[in-house]
Structure formats: structure tokens, C-alpha cells
A and B are shown apart, each in its own frame.
Chain A
């Protein structure tokens, strides 16, 4: 089983739609979780961290379910500029001790 698994998509949605991505991780001892965004032919950039209590940043909401070992990202009122690949990222050990394990990403395409 891969350490971090995501549905590769693509998810093709109209502007204004709500879209959700899920991600599962295999190591139950994993401590920290993130979503990174990668635009076409660009580098990955941190979108948001994911906390057990869930967290929201504008139109973006991230959730963590430790019991089921999955992480979700919800995008509301999607914009054309949200088109990108979203990478689910897990830090096995947390803090500065661990390495980041990246999923292969879910591609989102928002259409007019």
C-alpha cells in the first residue's frame, strides 16, 4: 500500500461548484498533515495545514480523520484560478524530524 494515496482525477467542475478531495495515508503514527498546490509546470506551494479539529481558510476547508486515516480538502465556490493539482502531504514524525511524504496529486480543472 502506498504511504499516501489520492484519486488522480481529473476533476472537471464549473465555476462556482463545490468540490472535495480525499486522501488516505498508511502510517497511523503520522503526526502532521498538509495540502500543497502545484500549478502546471510550477513548484508545489503550501496551501494549508490540516488539524484534527479541522481548519478553514476562506473558501478552503481541510479535515483530518485519524481513526480512518484520511484527509479531505473542500473547495467552495470554485474559481478558474483554483485549477491546479492538489497534493496531499504527510509528515510521519511531525515537526522538523520527519520528512514530507507527498501523494501523487489530484488534478482540478475549473471551467467557465
Chain B
């Protein structure tokens, strides 16, 4: 599986957009990018995933670079409830094991 690199922590002002970067320079052509988040002590929660194109849902937007070596998760209007650890994961069609979680980015939304 391709590995990902994320900053350890980030801060964001409440109401502003939170942009969380992820590097996945060894990603292969059939691998998806997934984002999950884990609010304190709870089980991880799926946010969004993408292959090549940018994606948007009710929670967030995912911007994937043209070379697919990096991506950015965007929370358009961060609230205090978005304070969590955000995990960027790469997994592919040839995989037959569950997702592998790294340490993620701890996002703190500040009032």
C-alpha cells in the first residue's frame, strides 16, 4: 500500500476554511484516497474519498492534484465540532486488507 504523510497538527479559526494536506507520492493508478476523522475517543468516521477527480459532499471537499501525488481535504466553514484527528489513507482495487491508518493530523478549531 502507498504511504501518506500528514502534518502532525494544525489550527484553524472557527468559521474559516480548514485545509488539511496529505502527500502520497507513491500512489499507484488504481488506488483511492480516503479521508476519515476521529473525534475524541469515538470510532473513526468516514468523510470522503476520490480517485482522480475532485469530490464534494455535505461534509467536505477533496482536491486531488493532477499527478495524484498529493491531496487536500477542505472543511469549508470549520466549527468547534470539527476538532478531531483527520486521517488520509490510500487503498486500491488490488487490496484485500482493511484500511491502514497512520497517525493523522490533529485539527484544533479555535473560537
User: Do they bind each other?
Assistant: no
